[in-house]
Structures are given as C-alpha cells and as structure tokens.
Amino acid sequence: MVDFHGWDMPLHYGSQIEEHHIVRQAAGMFDVSHMTIVDVTGNQAKDYLRYLLANDVDKLKDKGKALYSGMLNDDGGVVDDLIVYYFDATNYRMVVNSATREKDMNWLLKQTEGFEVTVTERPEFAMIAVQGPEAKAKAAEVFSNAQNEAVAGMKPFFGVQAEDLFIATTGYTGEAGYEIMVPVEKAPDLWQQLLDAGVKPSGLGARDTLRLEAGMNLYGQDMDETISPLEANMGWTITWEPADRNFVGRAALEAQREQGTKKLVGLVMTEKGVLRAGLNVKTAEGEAGIITSGTFSPTLGHAIAMARIPATNSSTVEVEMRKKWVKVEVVKPSFVRNGKSVL
Amino acid sequence: MSTIPNDLRYAASHEWVRPEGDGVFTIGITEHAQDLLGDMVFVDLPDVGDQVNAGDDVAVAESVKAASDVYTPITGEVLAVNEELEDSPELVNSDPYGDGWLFKIKADDVAEVDELLDAEGYAASIEDDE
C-alpha cells in the first residue's frame, strides 16, 4: 500500500508484472476512485468549457461523446489533463486528476467568473476501471439487462448513464474496456461481482506500466504547470480553429508554436537495463533532455521511456545510465496498443 | 514477516551466503530484499573467474521499481553464476533462497563467513530498518 495523494492504494496485489499481462491478455480492474468527478452545468456550460479548455467542446455533437483536453494557465502550462463528457450544451461531466484536486477545483471556480455555470464535485461516486480484451464480456455478466442494452454498440470514448452506473468506453491502458462510476456504497459489491466474473485486481504499478506502453501521459510526471502541451505530445489536443475562439493560454501557445518547443518523444532500449524517470538525455547535436517516465515494458520485454528533448535530426539519442552514456532509439511515444507492439 | 532460514549467513546489505563445502559459498539476495524490490526484470551477474573482494558491488538486481547493487560478502573467485536468471529473473522473486541464487564464490579465507550475521542478527538488522 502507498499513500497516493491522500488515498491508500495498492502498488500491486501480488505481482505487478502478472497484473500487467492479465490486462493485456484477459481482464483486470483498477480501483480509480481517487479520480475527481466534476459536473459542469448551466446555460453557459458550453461557453465556459470552450474558454477553459485548449480542446474545443464544440466538436462534441453526439450525446455521451468524450474529449481529452488540457486545461492551461495563462502561460500555456498544463494545470491538468482531463476527460470531458458531453450530454448537452448545458450539461457536461469532467474527470480530472486526484493529485491536483484542490488546485483544479480552485481553478475551475475561478474561471467561472462571467459565466452562468455551476461546477459541482461528485465525491459520492467511486470509480472502477475494467480493462483488457475480455473486459467488456466479463463486465456484461455483471451488468443488468438495461445496462447491457445501454452499452451495446457503444463506440470508444463514449459514456452513458445506465441505472445507477455511469459506464464509459475509456481507459488508461491502451486496451478495450470500461471506466465505471458507481455510487460509493455500491462499489464494494460491484468490485466483488467483477471479481467473481474472473476480472483480476490490478494495482498502481501495472497501471503505470500499461499507460506508459500505451503512450499516455501521467500528470505531474510527463507534464505540469510549467510545461506546454506542445512539449508534452498534446499538440493534437489543442484546437486552433476557429481562430477567434479565445481560451486560457491561447496567446502563450501561439507564441510557443512560433518559436518552436522541445518535444516529448518515445525511447526504446533493447539492451539490458531499465530507462527511468529523471535520467539525462543528450541529442546527437549535444543538447540536453530528460526522461519524464521510464519503465521495463512487460509486453515488449525491454525498456521504454518518454523523454522531453530539443529538436534533433537523429533517430537516436544517448541516455546517461549508471555513469555511462547508452545509445537508444527515438520513436513516437506509443509502444503497445490492444496487446500488440506498435514499434 | 519474511523467511530467514537458520542455516544461512547474512550481510546487512541483504545478501545471503550458503556454505557448500570445500570453501565454496553460494550467494543470493534475501526474501526481504526481493520483496522490497518487487518484480525482477534483469539480473546483471559478474563474470566467472572474476576475483572479487568482500564489499564489492559485483551484480545488479534490477526490478520494476529500481536497480539495486548486490555486494559480495566473501572475498574470492567467482566460480559460477546462475545463468537461468538471464531468461527467468523472476526466480529471484519466487525462490530467493533456491533457484533464484546469484553466484558462487571460492573463498580466499573461509573464516570470513563467520563475521557475517546469523539469521537472528539479520532479522534484528531489518527490524532496525523499519
């Protein structure tokens, strides 16, 4: 057990690597009740979110559709990354990080100024993520008929309220599955039913290696308030058009885009050893970078990492490992999807 | 509470030593150590024939969490290394005192082992850590 920003959470339930493989090959579940759920409602909910977020909620046309976005400060730094679900133009739900809960809530409330909008935290929900190629089938054994009907044919990155559960086709592993919001008092029962259906509990350790293989950022590690989304492989989450949509951080981002920024890249090392966060990186041009997240990839059987580096013309960089500089390959920061290598 | 077999000797840096006779000693890391490190992903072993001094870092146990130096508690020549660990580093987790051994040393001075901790001493030393 570790203290994870005030939540007692297990690093693993036995073996981190076994839990990782189970999610890639069958079905695992994570207690992610630490995530902060926030509802945004009111006549100007849409206008507020179009101002608050670098991605544009105006893209959301289908009920239940989700969008990943950064929430930036005036300097273009990432206050947090989040998922926002659209129900209608006056009703949205966001899921933000737990580490940043207090800061986020203060920020969200501060930005409401001038908007007719209500921001409501929903601590009465717990959240369980069921992930893996067999996750949906196993969850179906636990869902009621109405819930199964509600999720039938639901595409990735959607969410739906079905009886007492909010079921979303989202996740943090690169596998199919659901993230399920459940009233706190019903969470232990849902966990037990999933367990009985053969879904294996997985801890924070596996959650980290799975998200890293999938090339997903971890807030506080791969980016924070001092880091622009342009330096965090989040350029795709910035919606520049229409150019007259003002959002927090826009002016700073435009200047950064003009100047050019460091990039978050993937690193692959097939020799023995593990790339780890904080290790120094040197480009072929001799410029310095740093590993933001690194691990042994259980799926690939060698080390992978994300690193923030200055622009380079080379397909390799060097990493300082135990006093030696080791040459490693630079790739796009995505390593495994749906159980298979994408290298 | 982890297992600390009575028939072994220990270093406070979490290595165990088993006398095999003829001045040969097998060395590995304790159950407590593997538990602290978590799932092992690589084990870097010394070369057979290396001459090593007690206290030298001669191996690296690299887990999902961290890379940890392993020190030889005995001075002498590396007689053998556990080549199984190349493909199955998890043996250090599943059987730390058996199939998960790391290397064997032919001691220059067998009396060196008497200076190491016994099971009780090692148990006390890890309690102090906690």
3-state SS, A105-129, equals HHHHHHHCCCCCCEEEECCCEEEEE
Number of neighbours of residue B24 by Cβ within 10 angstroms:
17
Q: Is the pLDDT of residue B1 over 70?
A: no
Gap between the Cα atoms of A305 and A331, Å rounded: 10
Output the pLDDT for position A1.
85
Give the side-chain half-sphere CA count within 13 A for B122: 27
pLDDT in tens, A121-148: 999 999 999 999 999 999 999 999 999 9
**Nearest CA to CA, how far is B82 from chain A (Å)?**
16
What are B7's two structure tokens?
């028939």
pLDDT in tens, A93-123: 999 998 889 999 999 999 999 999 999 999 9
Residues from chain B contacting residue A296 (CB–CB below 8 Å): 41-42, 62, 64
Measure the CA dihedral A74/A77/A83/A87, to 10°: 10
Q: Is the dihedral of CA A284, A288, A291, A292 positive or negative?
A: negative
Q: Is the pLDDT of residue A323 over 90?
A: no
Is residue B93 within 8 Å of B32, Cβ to Cβ? Answer: no
Is residue A121 within 8 Å of A15, Cβ to Cβ? Answer: no
Query: Considering only alpha carbons, which residue of chain B is nearest residue A302?
Result: B41
pLDDT in tens, A264-303: 999 999 988 999 999 999 999 999 999 999 999 999 999 9
Which residues, at least 6 apart from B87, have a Cβ–Cβ distance to it below 8 Å? none
**Nearest CA to CA, how far is A12 from chain B (Å)?**
9
User: Quick one: average pLDDT of A158-178?
Assistant: 98
Is residue A210 within 8 Å of A20, Cβ to Cβ? Answer: yes
Query: Considering only alpha carbons, which residue of chain B is nearest residue A274?
Result: B62
Residue among A117, A72, A80, A77 nearest A99 (CA): A80
Is residue A166 within 8 Å of A94, Cβ to Cβ? Answer: no
**Size of chain B, expressed as the number of residues it contains:** 130
Alpha-carbon Rg for chain A, nearest whole angstrom, is 20
User: Quick one: average pLDDT of A308-313?
Assistant: 95
- Mean pLDDT of the residues in chain B: 95
pTM score: 0.92
Q: CB-CB: which of B39, B42, B44 is closest to A17?
A: B39
Output the pLDDT for position A98.
86
Output the pLDDT for position B130.
58
**Nearest CA to CA, how far is B124 from chain A (Å)?**
24
User: Quick one: average pLDDT of A67-83?
Assistant: 97
Output the pLDDT for position B128.
75
Q: Is the pLDDT of residue A335 over 70?
A: yes
Residue with structure tokens 């206050």? A79
Of all residues in chain A, the percent with pLDDT exceeding 90 is 95
Output the pLDDT for position B127.
86
User: Quick one: average pLDDT of A88-93?
Assistant: 98
What are A265's two structure tokens?
């890249």
A 136-195 residues with CB < 8 A to B = none
User: Quick one: average pLDDT of A257-266?
Assistant: 97
Q: Is the pLDDT of residue A65 over 90?
A: yes
Q: Where are the alpha helices (DSSP H) in chain A?
A: 16-25, 45-52, 101-111, 135-142, 145-151, 187-196, 204-213, 250-259
Gap between the Cα atoms of A164 and A306, Å rounded: 38
Gap between the Cα atoms of A24 and A159, Å rounded: 22
Residues from chain A contacting residue B35 (CB–CB below 8 Å): none
Does a cis peptide bond (omega within 30 degrees of 0) precede residue A133? no
**B32 CA to centre of own chain:** 12
Q: CB-CB: which of B38, B44, B62 is closest to A16?
A: B38
Which residue type, as a one-letter code, is found at position A317?
Answer: V
User: Quick one: average pLDDT of A147-166?
Assistant: 97
